[in-house]
Amino acid sequence: MQEVVLYGAPKLTTKKRQIDIPKPGPKEVLVKVVATGLNPKDWKWISESGEDGAVNAGDDVTGIVASVGSHVWEYKPGDRVAAFHRMGAPFGGYAEYAIAPASTTFPLPPNISFEAGAGLPLSFMTAAIALYQSLQLPLPTAANKKDIGVLIYGGASAVGAFALQLAKLSNFKPIVTVAGSSIDFVESLGAATHIIDYRKGNVAAEILKALDGKKVNHAFDAISGKGTHEVISEVLVACGGGRIDIVDPVQDKMWKWPAGVEYSRTFVASAYYQKHANIGEERAIADGEFAYWFYRYLSHLLAEGKFKTHPHEVLPGGLDGILDGVQRLYDGKVSAKKLVARIADTPGL
């Protein structure tokens, strides 16, 4: 089969290569890939590696189950699925076939196209783990929901937009978010009670003005860069303190979280039970179990029309279009959409 690998130094490059179709391990699924979604991590992870460190970076996969491992009982060949591939592991989605853990594979309902579904697995689970495992906010299934104020920074990003939809399902109030050129899209989600335009500056002051005395004590920073942690800290302190969850480490080594602000970091690898610098084994197991059922809950929400996929753009040329797509993510030129490659569009396949 054909696969595309990506490396970053001295410049972003992809290479197509021919490899054998892999066999799934006992708790894995082999998917014949129909579509695969791109993510900012694709360039972040390989930015310093040359050809020796080249990886098939496709972690978002939709397609048809081709075969399953000996311990897999839920899926059979022919099933229509979406799946989150283990980041950095071989046999990602930039290929004709990909391998994913059965636990991070979920049924793709018939009303969701392969292309739209290919933007879901990684970003959706990042948002879900951040809100419900890291910030420990009440689930959409919680009875007797009380008003809880949240700030979701970056409501037009895939992760932020999924967090906004989940926040609405959980009935949080107020829901404050920050966006720029894609404010119309964020409005169309009908989730945020207040949308602040970061292009106008003074974001912390504008958030506090919009809140008009109401409090937000939980924040999810789906951008985690460009000083967003400082803005959020200022808001939380003005609200009497609270918790922030970030997706990327703060770059400023001198940064200290202010008194009253408790921080955590979500890293979506815990969806497949992986520990990381900010969580130990117990939490990794908890996140893996959470991801198992929450992916299947997502299938239900999608089928019922209660959750929307992120807007998407299909790249021209299938696997041949991935380099251009990753470059656009690197250049920060992608607004409010997922870039997706359809494998059958690859010339010669």
User: For ligand NAP, which is the closer residue by CB, 71 or 199?
Assistant: 199
Contact in structure between 319 and 16 (CB atoms under 8 Å): yes
Residue 182 binds ligand NAP, judged by CB under 6 A: yes
Q: Which of 36, 103, 105, 123 binds ligand NAP (CB under 6 A)?
A: 123
**Rounded CA separation 309/337 (Å):** 10
User: For ligand NAP, which is the closer residue by CB, 68 or 163?
Assistant: 163
Token pair recorded at residue 239: 């609200």
Residue 178 binds ligand NAP, judged by CB under 6 A: yes
User: For ligand NAP, which is the closer residue by CB, 75 or 292?
Assistant: 292
Stretch that binds ligand NAP, among 19-27, 121-129, 135-143, 163-171 (CB under 6 A): 121-129
Q: Which of 101, 154, 288, 325 binds ligand NAP (CB under 6 A)?
A: 154
Smallest CA-to-CA distance from 44 within 160, 156, 104, 122 is with 122
Residue 189: how many CB atoms within 10 A of its CB? 19
Residue 251 binds ligand NAP, judged by CB under 6 A: no
Q: Pairing mode, if any, of strands 97-101 and 28-37?
A: antiparallel
Q: Which of 103, 105, 126, 299 binds ligand NAP (CB under 6 A)?
A: 126
Q: Which of 234, 274, 334, 345 binds ligand NAP (CB under 6 A)?
A: 334
Cα separations in angstroms, 33 against 6, 47, 85, 117, 264: 18, 26, 12, 12, 34
User: For ligand NAP, which is the closer residue by CB, 171 or 274?
Assistant: 274
Cα separations in angstroms, 41 against 122, 151, 258: 10, 23, 29
Q: Which of 267, 272, 292, 294 binds ligand NAP (CB under 6 A)?
A: 267
Query: Per the omega criterion (within 30 degrees of 0), is the bond before 10 cis?
Result: yes
* DSSP helix, strand, coil percent of the chain (3-state; round to 5): 35, 25, 45
Contact in structure between 170 and 307 (CB atoms under 8 Å): no
Please name the residues in contact with 266: beta carbons below 8 A apart, sequence gap of 6 or more: 126, 129, 130, 133, 134, 245, 246, 247
Give me the least distance between CB of 186 and ligand NAP, in Å please.
Answer: 7
User: For ligand NAP, which is the closer residue by CB, 8 or 24?
Assistant: 8
Give me the least distance between CB of 68 and ligand NAP, in Å please.
Answer: 26
The three-state secondary structure class of 104 is helix
Residue 159 binds ligand NAP, judged by CB under 6 A: yes
Q: Which of 54, 108, 156, 244 binds ligand NAP (CB under 6 A)?
A: 156
Residue 132 binds ligand NAP, judged by CB under 6 A: no
Residues 1-40 that bind ligand NAP (CB under 6 A): 39-40
Residue 71: how many CB atoms within 10 A of its CB? 10
Token pair recorded at residue 84: 């989150």
Give me the least distance between CB of 314 and ligand NAP, in Å please.
Answer: 16
Smallest CA-to-CA distance from 319 within 125, 143, 111, 56 is with 56
Residues 186-225 that bind ligand NAP (CB under 6 A): 198, 222-224
Q: Which of 60, 248, 287, 320 binds ligand NAP (CB under 6 A)?
A: 248
User: For ligand NAP, which is the closer residue by CB, 171 or 193?
Assistant: 193
Residues 70-109 that bind ligand NAP (CB under 6 A): none
The three-state secondary structure class of 275 is coil
**Rounded CA separation 345/329 (Å):** 21
Stretch that binds ligand NAP, among 47-55, 152-160, 204-212, 278-286 (CB under 6 A): 152-160
Q: Which residues bind ligand NAP (CB under 6 A)?
A: 39-41, 44, 122-123, 126, 154, 156-159, 178-182, 198, 222-224, 226, 247-248, 266-268, 334-336
